[in-house]
Structure 1
Amino acid sequence: MKVTLHKDFIFGKAEQWTMTSKDERVYQITVSLPKHARHLSDVPVLYVLDGDAYFTMFREMIQLQSRRSDKTGIKDMAIVGIGYGADRSFHSNRVYDFTPPSHSLSLPIKPDGSPWPDSGGADKFLAFIEEELKPELEACYSFNKHQQMIFGHSLGGLFTLYTLFRKPTAFQRYFACSPSIWWNEKMIVEHVTQLMFEREDVRQNIKLFMAAGTEEKPFLLNDAKEMRNLLTDAGMETLFVEGQGENHASIVPSIFSTGMRYLQAE
């Protein structure tokens, strides 16, 4: 089915609309443009997963700090939030979109005892971003195709890593916060070797920032450290930071500026 695009409203220098993918999944897309950029092709673009939860916060943090980028190290940039337009920050559809496909599935029991939502749609979600969303945005805004970054937290962090392994050229900068490496008995680790087969110049053009909090469940922290070691051995520039005293929720705002400084640095 052809993608349908319907603009809802504009606030400030941000625009928001709903977008229906070819496989009938509906997303709320929110775009914030840099205040003083003469040409959008000159500025980087940050794609934010779980846009319902994080878009507004990131927009305000970047706009505030970019006023004195010489002091903060944070440059202004375009921001694209990918959400679901729900009345809650984290929609259950994210489980399907952010998790890799698998012939078998082994998951722990959810804390509340409820069944897991459908999963395994990461390839379709990546195709939506690459083949439908990006072309639409590039047609509207002429975004730079070579200065693109993706942020994901928790399951969004898992998708960020999966994208890095499946199609590393989709973005040049990757920000994985508390990634759910544990998903399906750490099946994401199997994909690390795919980077080994990429050309060296492809690997050298990529940077990854990962973080996890010391007050999160220990396996989240340890899994991220192990992933950092694997990727360093694969020859990719990777920085991992422990958020001292931070838990699974507080790690995002506390570590965001550190990650952005690292990923925006030349």
Structure 2
Amino acid sequence: MIEKVTLDHTEYWKLDSKVMKYVFDIKVSIPSVAPPKEGFPIIYMMDGNSHFQYGRDVVRLQSRNAPKTFVAPAIVVGIGHHGTDKEVSKQRFHDFTPFAEHYSYPDRLKEKGVELGPHGGAEMLLDFIGQELMPEISRRYAVNPACQTLFGHSLGGLFVLYTLFTRSQLFTTYLACSPSIWWNDHEIFYYEKEFYERNALDAPKNLFIIVGGEEGFMVDDAKELVSEMDLKKVDSLHTAFYIAPEENHGSVVPTIMSRAIRFSNGVIPNSEVPTRQTQR
């Protein structure tokens, strides 16, 4: 007899967003222990249909021995799209990218014939997360509002950076894995510059930028962003940087998940701050 597998202490539901006019797949892993009086820390994961279970399993397995693993019991939320791979890809390009009057595409994207679809939905996605999803999560579960983390990879990593630079109040910790800094001719540097000019932090924040050592130009982009931010360093923003040896764009997420989640729990990794490259 073949039976479907059910994940313990894990829920799946859909959330129809009025802001986005889209129905998101929401997966939630809830610790099996009683919540502390302040509520559980929480980790929101973009591309939830791809990455949720990595985060879930790291937290559930390693929180059993938190004094040694430095991974505490936490709620993990996967924010997922639905449909075919092509439909999900187009939705990601819409949801994870900032609005711009004009868009510039690298030749490699044109050569692959990728169907990008419309762009510029990042602000609406942030409205969905802040106004619809987070209140619903807080209504259903015991959440510590002072310990909220956002994780994203690739375009999702770009979205993590954009969130920090434009709405830093939403989360405490930002985990940007292999962020697509290249998007629209590196326009994220514009938001980074505005962020520091506004001095916009309402409370201490943490940013961990991670990239696979085999990711070529994405390593160079990440080094440049980190060096730019290091020059403008402020005490209220702790930034760490890690290059995962021998990992590429497709392999990096499962290999760095423990390190990323330890960072969200306050464990500071060995951080490489690169020498400054070309100034934008």
Q: TM-score, normalised by structure 1?
A: 0.89
**TM-aligned CA deviation for residue 223 of structure 1:** 0.9
How far the C-alpha of 1:60 sits from its partner, in A, is 1.0
Question: Which residue of structure 2 lines up, in the alignment, with residue 16 of structure 1?
Answer: 12
Please report how far the alpha carbon of residue 194 of structure 1 lies from its aligned counterpart in structure 2 after TM superposition.
Answer: 3.0
Identify which range, 96-105 or 67-76, moves more after superposition.
67-76
Distance in 1, matches of 2:179 and 2:245, equals 17
How far, CA to CA, are the matches of 1:83 and 1:90 in structure 2?
12
Mapped to 2, the partners of 1:40 and 1:148 lie a distance apart of: 16
2:66 is matched with which residue: 66, 69, 92? 69
SS at match of 1:44: strand
Conserved 8 A contact 1:20-1:27:
yes
* Cα pair 2:39 2:142 within 8 Å, conserved: no
The 5 Å alignment of 1:1-266 reads 11-22=7-18, 23-39=20-36, 41-86=38-83, 88=85, 91-92=88-89, 93-109=91-107, 110=109, 111-196=111-196, 197-198=198-199, 202=203, 205-216=204-215, 218-232=216-230, 233-235=232-234, 236-265=237-266
The CA distance in 2 between the partners of 1:237 and 1:165, in whole Å, is 14
Count, aligned residues: 254
Give CA-to-partner distance per residue, 1:55-108, whole Å, 9 cap, x none. Answer: 112111211111111111111200110002336598121110000100110012
Instruction: Give, in whole Å, the separation in 2 of the partners of 1:112 and 1:199.
Output: 39
Whole-Å Cα distance in 2 between the matches of residues 55 and 89 of structure 1? 20
Moved more, 22-31 or 230-239: 230-239
How high is the TM-score relative to the length of structure 2? 0.85
Shift of residue 165 of structure 1? 0.4
Query: In 2 relative to 1, CA 89–172 (structure 1 residues): closer, same or farther, beyond 3 Å?
Result: farther
Farther-moved stretch of structure 1 (222-231 vs 172-181)? 222-231
Q: CA deviation at 1:185?
A: 0.1
Is the Cα–Cα contact under 8 Å of residues 45 and 143 in structure 1 kept in the other structure?
A: yes
How far, CA to CA, are the matches of 1:97 and 1:37 in structure 2? Answer: 35
Of 82-91 and 140-149, deviating more is 82-91
- Kindly report the root-mean-square deviation, in angstroms, between the aligned alpha carbons of the 2 structures: 1.9
* Distance in 2, Cα, partners of 1:263 & 1:56: 17
CA contact (8 A) 1:50 1:89 kept: no
Q: Per-residue deviation at 1:41?
A: 4.0
Contact 1:34 1:76 in 2 (8 A): yes
Taking the aligned partners of 1:34 and 1:238, their CA distance within structure 2 comes to 28
**Partner amino acid, structure 1, of 2:252:** I
1:123 and 1:159 map into 2 onto residues whose CA distance is 10
Matches of 2:37 and 2:255, distance apart in 1: 28
- Structure 2 unaligned segments of length 5 or more: list them: 1-5, 268-280
1:90–1:253 distance in 2 versus 1, CA, 3 Å = farther
Distance of 2:8 and 2:99 partners within structure 1? 39
Question: In the aligned structure 2, how far is the partner of 1:169 from the partner of 1:134?
Answer: 13
- Flag structure 1 segments of 5+ consecutive residues without an equivalent: 1-9
Which deviates the most, 154-163 or 77-86?
Answer: 77-86
- 1:53 touches 1:89 (CA, 8 Å); kept in 2? no
User: Residue 11 of structure 2 aligns to which amino acid in structure 1?
Assistant: E
User: In the superposition, relative to structure 1, how do residues 48 and 190 fare at CA in structure 2: closer, same or farther (>3 Å)?
Assistant: same
Q: Would the alpha carbon gap of residues 103 and 87 (structure 1) be closer, same or farther in structure 2, given more than 3 Å must change?
A: closer
Instruction: State whether residues 213 and 244 of structure 2, in contact with CA within 8 Å, keep that contact through their aligned partners in structure 1.
Output: yes
Distance 1:28 1:231 in 2: 34
